[in-house]
C-alpha cells in the first residue's frame, strides 16, 4: 500500500461532528452583520509581505516570527495572518474610500506559524467587521454591542469584555520615553525580544507573553497618565455609550493588543474556559492605518473573532448546535416502489422550499429502512408499499409523536411537509 499523506501540522479538517457549531456561529453572525448594515467582501489569502510588515509592525510576534512567507519569482508573498490589513488594502486598491464610508465584513482562513495547541492553530478562521471612515465613538460602541449581541445569540455567558484606550500615535511618544526609562532600569531582566523592542517599539514589551516579565510589566507606568485630551473625551463617550446600552466591561489599563496599528479604543473579549488561549475576539480603532498604507487620513474601527475558539467555548459551556434531523425519510422496498418513491422525493424537494428529506438506504430491506428512518430522527416516514403504489398514494407514518399512520395523496403530502418545513 502507498504511504498515507500526512496533513500539515496545525491545520485542521473540520468534519461533520464539528461543522454544526461552525454553521451556527456563521448563521447568527451573518444575520447580525446584515442587520447592522455591514456588507460582505471576499479577499485573497495571499498578499504582498510588505502589507503586513508595514501595518501590523516589524516587531510584533506575528510579523517577526509567525508569518508563512515565500518568494514568488522575486515577489515576497505572505499568507494573510489577519484580515484588517487586507480589507484596508482592498479598499484603497478599489478606490472605496474617496469621500465614502464603508462597513464591511470578512470571513475566512488566516495563517500563523505558531506552536499548535488547543485553541491555537496554524490555519484558523476569523470573522472580522471593519468600519472605514467613521471617527465617532458611536461606531466603536456599535461594534462592541454587535459582538455582545452575538454572544447572546449563541447563548455564551463566559466571555467578558476588557477595554482600554491607547490614545493617538503622537500621545504615545511621551509615554514611550517613560516606558523606555522604566525597562532600561531593569534591562538585566528583559528577554532578547524585549531588548530588541526597547529602542524601536517599547509598547510591544507590554504585550509580551513571557511570564518572567509579568512583574516588570505590572510595575510599568500607565499610558492613561499620558493620554491626549481628544482621546480622553472619545474614551469617556465610549464608556458612557456602553453604559447606555448595558454592555458591562472591565478597564484593563495594560491592554495594548498585539498589532501596531491600533489607536484609541482597544478591547478584547476573554473567557476563563479555554486555559491560556483566553481571547476569543479582539479589536479596536485603527485611525492611522489607512494613511500608513498610502491612503488619505481615514478613521476606522473593527474587530475579529476566532471561529475555532468560539466553537470551543460554546462546547465548554455545554451549548448544542441545534439538531437538524430530516423532516421526512423515504421507506420503499421493491423495484417499482423505489422508482415511485424516488420520483416522489424529487417532486417534494421541488415543491416544498426548505424541506429536509432523505432517501434513506434505497437498497435495504423494508424493515431495515424503517429502522433507519426512525434512527435518523426524521419526523415522518414516507412509506411506499405495494398497496400505496397501486393507489398512487403514500403511507405517512409519524415517527416522533405516536400518532397513527395515514394514507395521503401527493398533494396532501406536499401540504403537510410545507407546514412542517415552515414551523422548523
Applying CB under 6 A, the residues found at the interface with ligand ATP are: 82, 112, 114, 119-121, 124, 126, 258, 277, 279-282, 304-306, 308-309
Of the pair 25, 382, the CB lying nearest ligand ATP is at 25
Of the pair 289, 344, the CB lying nearest ligand ATP is at 289
DSSP-assigned beta bridge partners for residue 334: none
- Least CB distance from residue 10 to ligand ATP, whole Å? 8
Separation of CA 391 from chain center: 52
- Residue nearest ligand ATP, Cβ-based: 306
Of the pair 307, 333, the CB lying nearest ligand ATP is at 307
Of the pair 52, 124, the CB lying nearest ligand ATP is at 124
- Least CB distance from residue 229 to ligand ATP, whole Å? 28
- Least CB distance from residue 65 to ligand ATP, whole Å? 12
Of the pair 106, 345, the CB lying nearest ligand ATP is at 106
- Least CB distance from residue 27 to ligand ATP, whole Å? 19
DSSP-assigned beta bridge partners for residue 329: 358, 381
- Least CB distance from residue 292 to ligand ATP, whole Å? 18
CB 309 within 8 A of CB 336: no
- Geometric angle at alpha carbon 292, from 291 and 298, rounded to 5°: 25
Scored b (16 or more CB within 10 A) or e, 386-398 reads eebbeeebbbbbe
- Least CB distance from residue 320 to ligand ATP, whole Å? 21
- Map grid coordinates 474556559 to a residue: 273
Of the pair 157, 177, the CB lying nearest ligand ATP is at 157
CA dihedral (85, 87, 93, 99) in degrees, to 10, reads -110
Of the pair 309, 397, the CB lying nearest ligand ATP is at 309
Give strand ranges (E) for 295-343: 300-306, 328-332
CB 82 within 8 A of CB 110: yes
- Least CB distance from residue 184 to ligand ATP, whole Å? 26
CA distance 125 to 23: 13
Output the CA–CA distances (angstroms, integers) from residue 120 to 13, 110, 355, 399, in the order listed.
14, 12, 38, 43
Cell numbers linked to 309: 475558539
Amino acid at each position: 500500500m502507498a504511504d498515507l499523506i500526512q496533513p500539515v501540522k496545525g491545520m485542521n479538517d473540520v468534519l461533520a461532528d464539528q461543522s454544526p457549531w461552525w454553521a451556527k456561529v456563521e448563521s447568527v453572525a451573518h444575520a447580525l452583520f446584515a442587520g447592522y448594515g455591514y456588507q460582505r467582501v471576499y479577499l485573497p489569502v495571499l498578499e504582498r509581505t510588505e502589507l503586513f510588515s508595514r501595518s501590523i509592525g516589524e516587531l510584533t510576534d506575528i510579523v517577526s516570527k509567525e508569518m508563512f512567507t515565500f518568494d514568488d519569482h522575486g515577489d515576497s508573498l505572505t499568507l494573510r495572518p489577519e484580515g484588517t490589513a487586507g480589507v484596508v488594502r482592498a479598499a484603497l486598491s478599489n478606490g472605496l474610500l474617496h469621500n465614502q464610508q464603508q462597513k464591511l465584513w470578512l470571513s475566512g482562513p488566516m495563517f500563523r506559524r505558531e506552536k499548535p495547541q488547543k485553541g491555537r492553530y496554524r490555519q484558523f478562521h476569523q470573522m472580522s467587521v471593519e468600519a472605514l471612515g467613521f471617527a465617532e465613538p458611536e461606531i466603536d460602541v456599535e461594534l462592541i454591542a454587535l459582538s455582545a449581541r452575538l454572544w447572546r445569540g449563541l447563548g455564551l455567558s463566559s466571555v467578558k469584555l476588557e477595554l482600554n484606550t491607547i490614545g493617538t500615535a503622537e500621545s504615545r511618544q511621551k509615554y514611550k520615553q517613560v516606558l523606555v526609562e522604566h525597562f532600561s532600569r531593569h534591562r538585566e531582566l528583559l528577554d532578547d525580544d524585549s531588548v530588541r523592542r526597547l529602542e524601536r517599539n517599547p509598547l510591544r514589551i507590554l504585550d509580551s507573553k513571557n511570564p518572567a516579565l509579568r512583574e516588570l510589566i505590572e510595575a510599568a507606568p500607565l499610558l492613561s497618565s499620558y493620554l491626549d485630551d481628544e482621546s480622553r473625551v472619545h474614551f469617556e463617550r465610549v464608556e458612557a455609550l456602553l453604559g447606555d446600552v448595558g454592555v458591562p466591561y472591565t478597564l484593563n489599563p495594560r491592554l495594548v493588543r498585539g498589532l501596531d496599528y491600533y489607536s484609541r479604543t482597544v478591547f478584547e473579549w476573554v473567557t476563563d474556559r479555554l486555559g491560556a488561549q483566553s481571547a476569543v475576539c479582539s479589536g479596536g480603532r485603527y485611525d492611522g492605518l489607512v494613511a500608513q498604507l498610502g491612503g488619505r487620513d481615514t478613521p476606522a474601527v473593527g474587530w475579529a473573532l476566532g471561529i475555532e475558539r468560539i466553537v470551543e467555548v460554546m462546547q465548554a459551556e455545554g451549548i448544542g448546535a441545534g439538531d437538524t434531523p430530516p423532516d421526512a425519510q423515504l421507506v420503499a422496498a421493491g423495484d417499482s416502489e423505489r422508482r415511485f418513491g424516488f420520483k416522489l422525493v424529487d417532486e417534494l424537494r421541488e415543491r416544498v422550499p426548505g424541506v429536509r428529506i432523505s432517501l434513506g438506504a434505497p437498497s435495504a430491506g423494508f424493515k431495515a429502512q424503517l429502522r433507519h428512518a426512525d434512527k435518523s430522527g426524521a419526523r415522518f416516514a414516507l412509506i411506499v408499499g405495494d398497496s400505496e403504489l397501486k393507489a398512487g398514494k403514500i403511507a405517512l407514518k409519524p415517527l416522533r409523536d405516536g400518532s397513527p399512520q395515514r394514507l395521503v395523496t401527493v398533494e396532501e403530502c406536499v401540504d403537510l411537509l410545507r407546514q412542517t418545513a415552515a414551523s422548523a
